[in-house]
C-alpha cells in the first residue's frame, strides 16, 4: 500500500471552509495598515542565522531554543524566520529605504516558525500580519501603531480583547535596571534553570507564569520606578495620544516581551477567550536595532499580530468571519454545445467581477443542481440544446426556486442586476 502522509506536527493549516475565515482575518488586519499609509514588503522566510542572533538576542528563548536552523548547500547557516522585525530592518538597511522621507512605514504578512511545544493556539508554523515604522521617535507614532492594531481587531467585530501597555525604558535605563533587577533576583531561591535565565536575561524572569515564582517577585524593582525623565515623558505622551484616540489600555508595569530589542513603548493585546495562549498580538519600540544591524541610528516601532489566534478569538466570540462569497453563479450545461457556450459566458461574467463556477464531467441536471447547492451560489444558469436554439437560458434563483428565461445576449447584464 502507498504511504499516506501527514502535515508536520504542530503546524497551522487551513482547508475549506475554515480557510475563508483565515483569509478574512489576514485581510482585515492588513487593511488597517494599508489605510494608515504603510507599504507592503514581501521578504524571505529564511535569513542568515546571525541576523536573529544579533537582532532578536542570543539569550532569548526564541533564538536559543526555538529556531529552525540549517546549513544550506554552501555551508551558510540559515534560519526560518521566527519573527518579522529583524528581517524588515535588514531590508531597510540593505535597500537604503531610510534615504527617502521618514518615517518609513512598512507592513508584511506571512508564516513564521518556532519549534515550540504545540498546543491550542501555539504552533510551529503560524501566521502574522505586522507593521514597522522607522525613523521617528514621535510618541504619536507609537499611538498610531497601537491604534491600527486595535482597529484591525475591531474591523473583525472582536470585542473581548484588552491592550496591556508598558515602557521598558531607554537604552541607558535598561542597563541600570538590569543591574538592580539582577541583584534582586540573585537573592531569591530560584531553581537552577531560572537562576541561569536571571543571569542571562533577567527581564524574562518577570514574565515567568508560575505562581510560586510570581510570589517571589512581588517586591521586585519595576522599570517604572527607574525610568529616565525623557522615557517617562515619552510614555506619558503615548498614553495621552491613546486616550485621545479612544484606545482603551491598562497599565502593565510587569509586561516584558520575549525579544531583546524592545525599548520604551511595549504592548500586548490579549483575548480572554483563549485560555493559556491569550496573546493575539504584541509589539513595541526598538531604539538600537537598526544600528545593531549595520544601519544608521534610527528608532522604530512595530507590532506582530497573530492571525491564527485572532481567528480562534473570533470563534470564541461566535463571530462568523469569511472572505466574500466563493461562488455567486453556477452554470449547468446540458450537452456539449451548451458546455462550450457556457465557458464563454463564464469568462464574460468573471470579467464583470462575478464569481462563477460550472458543472464538470457532463453530469445530469439533478447531479449538477446538487453541485450548485453545495457551492452556496445564489443563481444557477441552465443551458440545453433547445435553449441554445432559442438563444435563451434558464436562470434559477437557488434560494427561492424561481426560474425565468433570459436572452443569452442579455445574460451578463440581467445576472448582475439579480445578484
Is the Cβ of residue 66 or residue 357 nearer to ligand AMP in the bound state? Answer: 66
Shortest distance in whole angstroms from residue 294 CB to ligand AMP: 22
Q: What is the nearest approach in angstroms of ligand AMP to the Cβ of residue 160?
A: 15
Buried b (16+ CB within 10 A) or exposed e, 287-302: bebbebbebeebbbbb
Among 401, 341, 338, 329, residue whose Cα is nearest residue 371: 329
Toward ligand AMP, which CB reaches closer, 23 or 346?
Answer: 23
> What part of residues 306-325 is at the interface with ligand AMP (CB under 6 A)?
306, 308-309
SS3 breakdown of the chain: % helix, strand, coil, rounded to 5? 40, 20, 35
User: Measured from the CB atom, is 309 or 396 closer to ligand AMP?
Assistant: 309
Binding residue for ligand AMP, selected from 38, 107, 126, 286, defined by CB under 6 A:
126
Instruction: Check residue 114 for interaction with ligand AMP (CB under 6 A).
Output: yes
By CB under 6 A, the count of residues binding ligand AMP is: 18
From the CB of residue 171, how many other CB atoms can be counted at a distance below 10 Å? 13
Task: Find the part of the chain contacting ligand AMP (CB under 6 A) among 218-226, 301-309, 312-320, 355-363.
Answer: 301-309
User: Please, what is the Cα angle at 33 between 160 and 141, to 5 degrees?
Assistant: 90
Site string for ligand AMP, 224-263 (x = CB under 6 A): ---------------------------------xx-----
DSSP 177-188: HHHHHHHHHHTS
x-marked contacts with ligand AMP along 136-175 as a string, rule CB under 6 A: ----------------------------------------
Out of 87, 304, 331, 334, name the contact with ligand AMP by CB under 6 A: 304
Q: 52 or 330: whose CB is closer to ligand AMP?
A: 52
Q: What's the distance, Cα to Cα, between the start and end of the chain in Å?
A: 49
Task: Round to whole Å and give the CA distance between 130 and 106.
Answer: 8
- The residue with its CB nearest to ligand AMP is 306
Choose the stretch contacting ligand AMP; rule: CB under 6 A; options: 122-130, 154-162, 224-232, 368-376. Answer: 122-130
Nearer to ligand AMP, 38 or 52 (CB): 52
Place of cell 487551513: 14
Helix (H) or strand (E) holding 87: helix 85-94
Closest listed residue to residue 370, CA positions, set 337, 330, 339:
330
- Cβ neighbors of 80 (< 8 A, separation 6 or more) are 45, 46, 67, 68, 112, 113
* Window 72-101: contact mask with ligand AMP (x via CB under 6 A): -----------x------------------
Between residues 97 and 259, which has the closer beta carbon with respect to ligand AMP?
Answer: 259
**Which member of 31, 122, 155, 339 binds ligand AMP (CB under 6 A)?**
122
Q: How far apart are alpha carbons 412 and 409 in whole angstroms?
A: 8
Q: Which residues pair with 131 in a beta bridge?
A: 107, 303
By CB under 6 A, tell whether 287 contacts ligand AMP: no
Question: What SS3 class is residue 259?
Answer: coil
**How many Cα atoms are found within 13 Å in the side-chain-facing hemisphere of 159?**
3
- Please say which residue, 287 or 308, places its beta carbon nearer to ligand AMP: 308
| Per-residue x/- track, 260-279, ligand AMP (CB under 6 A) | -------------------x
User: Strands 77-80 and 250-251: what pairing?
Assistant: unpaired
Does residue 116 interact with ligand AMP by CB under 6 A? yes
Give the residue with the Cβ less far from ligand AMP, 139 or 306.
306
Contact indicator for 331, 380 with CB cutoff of 8 Å: yes
Q: Which of 314, 380, 316, 307 is nearest to 349 (CA)?
A: 380
Strand pairing class (379-383; 329-333): parallel
Stretch of 98-106, 118-126, 184-192, 227-235 contacting ligand AMP, by CB under 6 A:
118-126
Which residues contact ligand AMP by CB under 6 A?
Answer: 83, 114, 116, 121-123, 126, 128, 257-258, 279-282, 304, 306, 308-309
Amino acid at each position: 500500500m502507498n504511504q499516506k502522509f501527514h502535515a508536520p506536527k504542530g503546524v497551522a493549516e487551513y482547508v475549506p471552509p475554515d480557510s475563508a475565515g483565515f483569509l478574512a482575518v489576514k485581510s482585515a488586519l492588513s487593511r488597517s495598515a494599508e489605510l494608515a499609509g504603510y507599504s507592503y514588503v514581501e521578504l524571505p522566510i529564511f535569513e542568515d542565522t546571525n541576523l536573529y542572533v544579533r537582532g532578536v538576542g542570543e539569550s532569548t528563548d526564541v533564538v536559543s531554543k526555538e529556531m529552525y536552523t540549517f546549513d544550506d548547500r554552501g555551508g551558510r547557516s540559515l534560519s526560518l524566520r521566527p519573527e518579522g522585525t529583524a528581517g524588515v530592518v535588514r531590508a531597510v538597511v540593505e535597500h537604503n529605504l531610510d534615504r527617502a522621507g521618514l518615517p518609513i512605514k512598512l507592513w508584511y504578512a506571512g508564516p513564521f516558525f518556532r519549534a515550540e511545544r504545540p498546543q491550542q493556539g501555539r504552533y510551529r508554523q503560524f501566521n502574522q500580519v505586522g507593521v514597522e515604522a522607522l525613523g521617528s521617535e514621535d510618541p504619536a507614532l507609537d499611538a498610531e501603531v497601537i491604534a491600527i492594531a486595535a482597529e484591525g481587531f475591531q474591523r473583525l467585530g472582536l470585542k473581548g480583547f484588552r491592550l496591556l501597555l508598558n515602557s521598558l525604558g531607554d537604552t541607558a535605563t535598561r542597563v541600570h535596571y538590569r543591574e538592580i533587577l539582577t541583584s534582586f533576583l540573585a537573592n531569591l531561591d530560584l531553581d537552577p534553570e531560572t537562576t541561569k535565565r536571571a543571569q542571562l536575561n533577567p527581564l524574562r524572569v518577570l514574565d515567568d507564569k508560575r505562581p510560586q515564582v510570581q510570589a517571589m517577585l512581588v517586591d521586585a524593582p519595576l522599570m517604572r520606578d527607574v525610568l529616565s525623565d525623557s522615557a517617562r515623558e515619552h510614555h506619558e505622551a503615548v498614553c495621552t495620544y491613546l486616550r485621545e484616540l479612544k484606545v482603551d489600555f491598562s497599565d502593565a508595569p510587569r509586561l516584558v516581551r520575549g525579544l531583546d530589542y524592545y525599548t520604551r513603548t511595549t504592548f500586548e493585546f490579549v483575548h480572554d477567550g483563549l485560555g493559556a495562549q491569550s496573546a493575539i498580538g504584541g509589539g513595541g519600540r526598538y531604539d538600537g536595532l537598526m544600528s545593531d544591524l549595520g544601519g544608521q541610528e534610527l528608532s522604530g516601532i512595530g507590532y506582530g499580530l497573530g492571525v491564527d489566534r485572532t481567528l480562534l478569538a473570533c470563534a470564541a466570540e461566535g463571530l462568523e468571519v469569511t472572505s466574500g462569497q466563493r461562488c455567486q453563479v453556477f452554470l449547468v450545461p446540458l450537452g456539449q454545445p451548451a458546455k462550450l457556450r457556457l465557458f464563454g459566458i463564464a469568462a464574460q461574467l468573471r470579467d464583470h467581477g462575478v464569481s462563477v463556477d460550472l458543472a464538470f464531467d457532463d453530469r445530469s441536471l439533478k447531479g449538477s443542481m446538487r453541485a450548485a447547492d453545495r457551492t452556496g451560489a445564489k443563481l444557477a444558469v441552465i443551458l440545453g440544446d433547445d435553449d441554445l436554439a432559442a438563444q435563451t437560458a434558464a436562470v434559477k434563483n437557488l434560494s427561492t426556486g424561481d426560474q425565468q428565461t433570459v436572452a443569452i445576449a442579455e445574460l451578463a447584464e440581467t445576472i448582475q442586476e439579480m445578484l
